[in-house]
Chains A and B, each alone.
Chain A
């Protein structure tokens, strides 16, 4: 998977990194069981501080997307059942997005259509290995 970070963006690098990895898992570009680069290597390749990468990995671990093993490094975890806490977070974010779409004059069908299209692109896969 190719991760693109925009260093001029207002979104912090660790958030960009987290979002892209989650999107990558969702789209199947990162397979379940696949190993992510080590914190040091990811930081070296991106030219960013290793603390930034470490922060991203800790967030992803806390969210249940990856596991961190001392020897094997960071690995993508299988898709998990929706937690109540996540559902609340999703509802809150969707509420904001719906409000913005509504205020910008978007119709309900159009909004749902975009949601459906985006969701359809997500095809998380198990590792071939």
Chain B
């Protein structure tokens, strides 16, 4: 399991670093009349001060990415040693990496803007100009795939919920066991709905005029909108297909489905990510070729609204605009209060998820099994998982020195080197709950009417006292 996690995180880290490197590594090249997101005359490109900023930024960016490639590899190795330490270090690294990326993108941009202001390379008049290509605007509906193609996928996803319900009844799955599958269902449906909303947003996004040649404008806008619509649609469909596959497996096997099913699900999810990125990546190169056909492109010098590194133009009613540093990406217009609130909420949500994940994992690592008896009701509790039963529910109580020779699958809970906590299913044992910490030398096995409970803790004497208490009662 540790090696699986190692490879999953290593792959994720490589993907994050390489994507950032590739996506933002070329903002120092002169494109659409800009260097580092600042419009400057092409005749000034060879100036030593301009070259100085570009070369320094390129060198620092390359060094930063190489360092982070190595650091991410070393951090991934940590999960073989201690998962809690790893997840905390990894979260901190990710935040620092994102912050570092932003700094290295914004610092040369601001320097270049200062240089531009000092030298007066301004096109003040063009700032107030709005251009529309009538042919592109008239053909706007035909530039991308229709958003309605998402609807069958969403209907199928709803069918997946019906399958989950059937499976819950068929395998008598408890709500705790079913919870992770419903979470996966909600995530899958949420992603598809989000992609649908993004698709509609892309279709409504204003077309841009790059050149006085209509063919170039048409081709560039079509490439952007078409590639986004293909990406969103294919990723949405693959996302739904992968969930449906999981729902069918859940229906056939119940919560304790073979690991192979999860592996196929994982591959399908990865392919959704690949199909999302592939059309976007391909369109970047093609778009560059299309725009290169016009040696004197049209541009609007609205650098003033980008001077801080983000877009803030109160006169622009658009919420999303093309990003300065990555032409395939979009940026928010921070002049709108709604955008500030939305981005703030998004940051808070991300921080909350990171904190919750860290506390969840550390909760397992430091879990203590608590056994109580109150008004004839016994209860075990550890890391937020618990079970309650009365004396009448107990069929037998045994104290053993090892777990039964059975194949257990975790359905809702956590398992690591030193702990097994939560809901499990054994091939022979059936439904069970485990509250196991320590080295499992003394294990309390309680057979109840509807499931089996296994409990242990690092202190053998404590387990023995639990056994005595239950044995005396029954």
Contact = CB atoms under 8 A, between A and B. Distances in A.
A3 B131 contact: yes
A46 interface: yes
Contact of A6 (B128, B204, B315): B128
A4 B131 CA distance: 4
A35 interface: yes
B129 A45 contact: no
Interface stretch (A36-44, A84-92, A107-115): A36-44
B130 interface: yes
Contact of B128 (A8, A36, A44, A73): A8
A4 B130 contact: yes
A46 B130 contact: yes
Contacts of B138: 34-38, 41, 73
Interface stretch (B1-9, B206-214, B410-418): B206-214
A47 B318 contact: yes
The prevalent SS among residues of B at the interface is: mixed
Given A8-B128, A37-B140, A47 B317 contact: yes
B137 A42 contact: yes
Contact of B134 (A5, A8, A37): A37
B134 A47 contact: no
Contacts of A46: 130, 132, 206
Nearest to A29: B134
A7 interface: yes
A2 B132 contact: yes
B133 interface: yes
B129 A42 contact: no
Interface residues of B, number: 25
Contacts of A8: 125, 128
Nearest to A37: B137
Given A2-B209, A2-B212, A41-B140, A48 B130 contact: yes
A2 B216 CA distance: 12
B130 A7 contact: yes
A103 interface: no
Interface string B133-158: 11111101100000000000000000
B316 interface: yes
Interface string A6-37: 11110000000000000010000010001111
A24 to B, nearest CB: 8
A47 B128 contact: no
Contacts of A36: 134, 138
Residue of B132, B298, B317, B318 most packed against chain A (CB within 10 A): B132
Given A7-B315, A45-B206, A45-B207, A2 B131 contact: yes
A47 B141 CA distance: 18
Nearest to A73: B138
B140 A4 contact: no
B130 A1 contact: no
Contacts of B131: 2-5
A37 B129 CA distance: 19
Contacts of A24: 134
A45 B128 contact: no
B133 A1 contact: yes
A94 B315 CA distance: 37
A17 to B, nearest CB: 9
Contacts of B125: 8
Nearest to A30: B134
Given A2-B212, A41-B140, A47 B133 contact: no
Interface string B202-234: 001011010010100000000000000000000
A2 B133 contact: yes
A74 B316 CA distance: 26
Contact of A47 (B137, B212, B298, B316): B316
A31 to B, nearest CB: 10
Contacts of A1: 133-135, 214
Contact of B132 (A6, A34, A45): A45
A20 B136 CA distance: 17
B134 to A, nearest CB: 5
B204 A44 contact: yes
A9 B140 CA distance: 28
Contacts of B134: 1-3, 24, 30, 34, 36-37
26 contacts: A1-B134, A1-B135, A2-B131, A2-B133, A2-B134, A2-B212, A2-B214, A2-B298, A3-B131, A3-B134, A4-B129, A4-B130, A5-B129, A5-B130, A6-B129, A7-B128, A7-B130, A34-B134, A37-B134, A37-B138, A41-B141, A42-B132, A44-B204, A46-B130, A47-B317, A73-B138
Interface of A: 1-9, 24, 30, 34-38, 41-42, 44-48, 73
Interface of B: 125, 128-138, 140-141, 204, 206-207, 209, 212, 214, 298, 315-318
Given A2-B134, A3-B132, 20 more contacts: A1-B133, A1-B135, A1-B214, A2-B209, A5-B129, A5-B130, A7-B128, A7-B129, A7-B315, A24-B134, A37-B132, A37-B134, A37-B140, A42-B137, A44-B206, A45-B132, A45-B206, A47-B130, A47-B206, A73-B138
Ranked 9 nearest A-B pairs via Cβ: A37-B137, A8-B128, A5-B130, A3-B132, A37-B138, A45-B206, A7-B128, A45-B132, A1-B134
